[in-house]
Protein backbone atom coordinates (compact mmCIF):
# COMPACT_ATOMS: atom_id res chain seq x y z
CA UNK A 1 0.00 0.00 0.00
CA UNK A 2 1.22 3.48 -0.85
CA UNK A 3 0.88 5.83 2.11
CA UNK A 4 1.14 9.61 2.25
CA UNK A 5 1.16 12.11 5.09
CA UNK A 6 -0.55 15.36 4.12
CA UNK A 7 -0.75 18.60 6.12
CA UNK A 8 -4.26 20.00 5.57
CA UNK A 9 -5.69 23.50 5.98
CA UNK A 10 -2.27 25.04 5.43
CA UNK A 11 -0.06 26.12 2.53
CA UNK A 12 3.22 25.16 4.22
CA UNK A 13 4.60 21.93 5.67
CA UNK A 14 4.64 21.20 9.39
CA UNK A 15 1.53 23.30 10.02
CA UNK A 16 -2.20 22.65 9.77
CA UNK A 17 -3.48 19.15 10.54
CA UNK A 18 -1.56 16.07 9.34
CA UNK A 19 -3.52 13.11 7.98
CA UNK A 20 -2.52 9.75 6.62
CA UNK A 21 -3.97 8.95 3.18
CA UNK A 22 -4.08 5.49 1.59
CA UNK A 23 -5.63 4.88 -1.83
CA UNK A 24 -6.70 1.22 -2.08
CA UNK A 25 -8.36 -1.16 -4.52
CA UNK A 26 -10.84 -2.19 -1.79
CA UNK A 27 -11.13 -1.87 1.98
CA UNK A 28 -9.46 -4.63 4.02
CA UNK A 29 -11.14 -5.73 7.25
CA UNK A 30 -11.81 -3.11 9.91
CA UNK A 31 -9.15 -4.44 12.25
CA UNK A 32 -6.52 -3.93 9.58
CA UNK A 33 -7.67 -0.35 8.98
CA UNK A 34 -7.58 0.39 12.69
CA UNK A 35 -4.09 -1.10 13.06
CA UNK A 36 -2.79 1.09 10.25
CA UNK A 37 -4.40 4.21 11.74
CA UNK A 38 -2.82 3.43 15.11
CA UNK A 39 0.59 3.01 13.45
CA UNK A 40 0.21 6.31 11.54
CA UNK A 41 -0.89 7.89 14.85
CA UNK A 42 -2.26 11.13 13.46
CA UNK A 43 -5.66 12.54 14.36
CA UNK A 44 -7.13 10.72 11.35
CA UNK A 45 -6.03 8.37 8.62
CA UNK A 46 -8.18 8.30 5.48
CA UNK A 47 -8.74 5.18 3.39
CA UNK A 48 -10.30 5.48 -0.06
CA UNK A 49 -10.98 3.22 -3.04
CA UNK A 50 -12.58 3.92 -6.44
CA UNK A 51 -16.21 3.01 -7.08
CA UNK A 52 -17.75 1.78 -10.36
CA UNK A 53 -18.58 4.50 -12.86
CA UNK A 54 -22.15 5.75 -13.11
CA UNK A 55 -23.00 5.74 -9.41
CA UNK A 56 -23.72 8.61 -7.04
CA UNK A 57 -20.09 8.72 -5.84
CA UNK A 58 -16.62 8.28 -7.35
CA UNK A 59 -14.67 7.02 -4.32
CA UNK A 60 -15.54 5.34 -1.05
CA UNK A 61 -13.93 7.06 1.94
CA UNK A 62 -13.51 6.12 5.61
CA UNK A 63 -11.65 7.84 8.45
CA UNK A 64 -10.01 6.34 11.53
CA UNK A 65 -8.39 7.96 14.54
CA UNK A 66 -5.75 5.89 16.37
CA UNK A 67 -8.57 4.35 18.41
CA UNK A 68 -11.92 4.51 16.53
CA UNK A 69 -13.64 5.04 13.18
CA UNK A 70 -15.38 8.44 12.93
CA UNK A 71 -18.47 9.57 11.04
CA UNK A 72 -16.99 12.76 9.60
CA UNK A 73 -13.56 14.31 9.13
CA UNK A 74 -12.86 17.49 7.18
CA UNK A 75 -9.07 17.69 7.15
CA UNK A 76 -8.55 14.07 6.08
CA UNK A 77 -11.14 14.54 3.31
CA UNK A 78 -9.26 17.60 2.09
CA UNK A 79 -6.01 15.63 2.30
CA UNK A 80 -7.50 12.76 0.27
CA UNK A 81 -8.81 15.11 -2.41
CA UNK A 82 -5.38 16.76 -2.55
CA UNK A 83 -3.70 13.38 -3.13
CA UNK A 84 -6.23 12.39 -5.81
CA UNK A 85 -5.71 15.65 -7.70
CA UNK A 86 -1.93 15.93 -7.35
CA UNK A 87 -1.30 12.31 -8.36
CA UNK A 88 -3.76 12.37 -11.27
CA UNK A 89 -5.86 9.60 -9.74
CA UNK A 90 -8.95 11.78 -10.19
CA UNK A 91 -9.60 14.98 -12.13
CA UNK A 92 -12.13 17.67 -11.24
CA UNK A 93 -14.68 17.50 -8.43
CA UNK A 94 -14.68 14.20 -6.56
CA UNK A 95 -17.71 12.67 -4.84
CA UNK A 96 -16.95 10.61 -1.75
CA UNK A 97 -19.35 8.00 -0.37
CA UNK A 98 -19.03 8.21 3.45
CA UNK A 99 -20.89 7.47 6.68
CA UNK A 100 -22.12 11.10 6.48
CA UNK A 101 -23.52 10.75 2.98
CA UNK A 102 -21.97 11.89 -0.29
CA UNK A 103 -19.38 14.64 0.28
CA UNK A 104 -17.99 16.62 -2.65
CA UNK A 105 -14.47 18.08 -2.87
CA UNK A 106 -13.77 20.60 -5.64
CA UNK A 107 -10.26 21.77 -6.58
CA UNK A 108 -9.81 25.48 -7.31
CA UNK A 109 -7.50 27.16 -9.77
CA UNK A 110 -5.58 28.67 -6.85
CA UNK A 111 -4.74 25.22 -5.45
CA UNK A 112 -7.31 25.30 -2.65
CA UNK A 113 -9.89 22.54 -2.22
CA UNK A 114 -13.50 23.28 -1.27
CA UNK A 115 -15.44 20.67 0.67
CA UNK A 116 -19.26 20.52 0.58
CA UNK A 117 -20.37 19.19 3.99
CA UNK A 118 -23.70 19.05 5.83
CA UNK A 119 -24.21 21.95 8.23
CA UNK A 120 -24.27 20.82 11.84
CA UNK A 121 -27.66 21.30 13.55
CA UNK A 122 -27.06 23.45 16.63
CA UNK A 123 -29.25 23.01 19.69
CA UNK A 124 -28.82 25.40 22.61
CA UNK A 125 -28.28 23.58 25.92
CA UNK A 126 -27.59 24.62 29.47
CA UNK A 127 -23.89 24.75 30.27
CA UNK A 128 -23.31 21.40 31.98
CA UNK A 129 -22.21 21.55 35.57
CA UNK A 130 -18.46 21.05 35.81
CA UNK A 131 -17.59 22.10 32.23
CA UNK A 132 -16.08 25.39 33.33
CA UNK A 133 -13.73 23.64 35.74
CA UNK A 134 -12.78 20.94 33.21
CA UNK A 135 -12.21 23.43 30.40
CA UNK A 136 -10.50 26.05 32.53
CA UNK A 137 -12.85 28.88 31.48
CA UNK A 138 -16.51 29.74 32.01
CA UNK A 139 -18.62 29.22 28.84
CA UNK A 140 -21.00 32.02 27.84
CA UNK A 141 -23.15 29.68 25.74
CA UNK A 142 -23.30 25.96 24.96
CA UNK A 143 -24.69 24.06 21.96
CA UNK A 144 -25.08 20.43 21.01
CA UNK A 145 -23.75 19.93 17.46
CA UNK A 146 -25.78 16.89 16.40
CA UNK A 147 -24.97 13.27 15.56
CA UNK A 148 -22.41 13.71 12.76
CA UNK A 149 -20.00 15.67 14.95
CA UNK A 150 -20.98 14.79 18.50
CA UNK A 151 -19.31 17.78 20.17
CA UNK A 152 -20.30 20.39 22.72
CA UNK A 153 -19.69 23.86 21.23
CA UNK A 154 -19.01 26.58 23.80
CA UNK A 155 -18.24 30.27 23.42
CA UNK A 156 -15.84 31.78 25.94
CA UNK A 157 -15.15 35.39 26.86
CA UNK A 158 -12.53 36.37 24.28
CA UNK A 159 -9.74 35.26 21.97
CA UNK A 160 -7.11 35.43 24.71
CA UNK A 161 -9.15 32.98 26.77
CA UNK A 162 -9.19 30.49 23.88
CA UNK A 163 -5.40 30.71 23.50
CA UNK A 164 -4.87 30.26 27.24
CA UNK A 165 -7.00 27.10 27.68
CA UNK A 166 -5.30 24.21 29.48
CA UNK A 167 -8.19 21.77 29.99
CA UNK A 168 -8.44 18.70 32.16
CA UNK A 169 -8.93 16.26 29.28
CA UNK A 170 -10.02 13.34 31.43
CA UNK A 171 -12.75 15.48 32.97
CA UNK A 172 -13.83 16.88 29.57
CA UNK A 173 -14.55 13.40 28.26
CA UNK A 174 -17.77 13.24 30.29
CA UNK A 175 -19.56 16.05 28.43
CA UNK A 176 -19.96 14.91 24.81
CA UNK A 177 -19.58 12.02 22.40
CA UNK A 178 -16.36 13.31 20.79
CA UNK A 179 -15.25 16.40 22.71
CA UNK A 180 -15.40 20.17 23.14
CA UNK A 181 -15.14 23.01 20.62
CA UNK A 182 -14.18 26.25 22.39
CA UNK A 183 -14.56 29.46 20.39
CA UNK A 184 -14.53 33.27 20.61
CA UNK A 185 -14.80 36.26 18.32
CA UNK A 186 -11.53 37.49 16.79
CA UNK A 187 -10.10 40.45 18.65
CA UNK A 188 -8.69 42.00 15.46
CA UNK A 189 -10.46 40.91 12.22
CA UNK A 190 -7.90 42.96 10.26
CA UNK A 191 -5.55 40.00 10.80
CA UNK A 192 -7.67 38.02 8.33
CA UNK A 193 -9.91 35.85 10.49
CA UNK A 194 -13.31 36.37 12.10
CA UNK A 195 -13.32 33.86 14.95
CA UNK A 196 -10.93 31.53 16.75
CA UNK A 197 -11.39 28.01 18.07
CA UNK A 198 -9.66 25.08 19.70
CA UNK A 199 -10.89 21.48 19.70
CA UNK A 200 -10.32 18.86 22.39
CA UNK A 201 -11.46 15.29 21.56
CA UNK A 202 -10.41 12.94 24.37
CA UNK A 203 -13.16 10.42 23.61
CA UNK A 204 -11.61 9.50 20.24
CA UNK A 205 -7.99 9.52 21.38
CA UNK A 206 -7.13 13.10 20.32
CA UNK A 207 -6.11 15.45 23.11
CA UNK A 208 -6.18 18.53 20.86
CA UNK A 209 -6.94 18.40 17.15
CA UNK A 210 -4.73 20.87 15.23
CA UNK A 211 -7.32 22.02 12.62
CA UNK A 212 -10.80 20.48 12.49
CA UNK A 213 -12.85 20.80 9.32
CA UNK A 214 -15.91 19.07 10.76
CA UNK A 215 -16.01 21.46 13.73
CA UNK A 216 -16.34 24.35 11.27
CA UNK A 217 -19.67 22.95 10.06
CA UNK A 218 -20.88 24.00 13.52
CA UNK A 219 -18.73 27.12 13.86
CA UNK A 220 -19.93 28.48 10.51
CA UNK A 221 -23.65 28.68 11.40
CA UNK A 222 -22.84 29.83 14.94
CA UNK A 223 -20.71 32.79 13.86
CA UNK A 224 -22.62 33.58 10.66
CA UNK A 225 -25.70 34.29 12.76
CA UNK A 226 -23.79 36.50 15.19
CA UNK A 227 -21.68 38.36 12.63
CA UNK A 228 -24.37 38.64 9.95
CA UNK A 229 -22.25 37.21 7.11
CA UNK A 230 -22.35 33.89 5.32
CA UNK A 231 -18.65 33.87 4.35
CA UNK A 232 -16.13 33.83 7.20
CA UNK A 233 -12.61 32.69 8.02
CA UNK A 234 -11.81 30.76 11.18
CA UNK A 235 -8.43 30.44 12.85
CA UNK A 236 -7.92 27.24 14.81
CA UNK A 237 -5.43 28.34 17.45
CA UNK A 238 -3.67 25.05 18.17
CA UNK A 239 0.14 24.99 18.33
CA UNK A 240 0.27 23.98 14.62
CA UNK A 241 -2.56 26.37 13.68
CA UNK A 242 -4.52 26.65 10.46
CA UNK A 243 -7.26 28.64 8.74
CA UNK A 244 -10.57 27.45 7.32
CA UNK A 245 -12.69 29.58 4.99
CA UNK A 246 -16.38 28.83 5.57
CA UNK A 247 -19.44 29.65 3.48
CA UNK A 248 -22.85 28.87 4.94
CA UNK A 249 -25.45 27.70 2.41
CA UNK A 250 -28.37 26.65 4.57
CA UNK A 251 -28.15 22.92 5.06
CA UNK A 252 -24.67 22.78 3.56
CA UNK A 253 -21.40 24.39 4.60
CA UNK A 254 -18.46 24.93 2.24
CA UNK A 255 -15.01 24.56 3.81
CA UNK A 256 -11.98 25.71 1.84
CA UNK A 257 -8.27 25.28 2.45
CA UNK A 258 -4.98 24.11 1.02
CA UNK A 259 -2.85 21.05 1.67
CA UNK A 260 0.78 19.96 1.34
CA UNK A 261 2.10 16.40 0.96
CA UNK A 262 5.10 16.03 3.28
CA UNK A 263 5.82 12.25 3.35
CA UNK A 264 5.29 9.49 0.79
CA UNK A 265 6.25 5.84 1.14
CA UNK A 266 5.19 2.19 1.17
CA UNK A 267 3.47 0.23 3.89
CA UNK A 268 5.60 -2.92 4.06
CA UNK A 269 3.40 -5.27 6.11
Burial class (CB in 10 A: 0-12, 13-18, 19+), 158: middle
Three-class DSSP category at 87: helix
Q: Kindly name the residue from 39, 44, 109, 208 that is annotated as catalytic.
A: 44
DSSP 88: T
Q: Which residues pair with 47 in a beta bridge?
A: 22, 62
Contact call for residues 193 and 186 (beta carbons, < 8 A):
yes
Checking DSSP bridges between strand 123-124 and strand 2-8, what pairing results, if any?
unpaired
Rounded Cα–Cα distance for residues 8 and 16 (Å): 5
Residue 44 known to be catalytic: yes
Q: Which pairs count as long-range contacts for 121-125, CB under 8 Å and 24+ apart, including other chains?
A: 121/145, 121/146, 122/146, 122/153, 122/218, 122/221, 122/222, 125/152
C-alpha–C-alpha distance, residues 178 and 92, integer Å? 33
CA distance 24 to 20: 13
Do 234 and 219 form a contact (C-beta atoms < 8 A)? yes
Distances (CA, A) of 113 to 64, 90, 104, 120, 234: 21, 13, 10, 20, 16
Angle (CA) 199 63 88, round 5°: 115
Active site residues: 44
Amino acid sequence: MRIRIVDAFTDRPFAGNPAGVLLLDAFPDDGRLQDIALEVNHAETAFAHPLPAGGEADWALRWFTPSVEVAMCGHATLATAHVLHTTGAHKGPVRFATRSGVLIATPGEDGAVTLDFPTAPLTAVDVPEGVAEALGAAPLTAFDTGPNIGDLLVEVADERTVHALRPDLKALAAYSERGIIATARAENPALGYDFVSRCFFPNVGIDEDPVTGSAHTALAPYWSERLGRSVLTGLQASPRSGRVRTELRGGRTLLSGRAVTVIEGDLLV
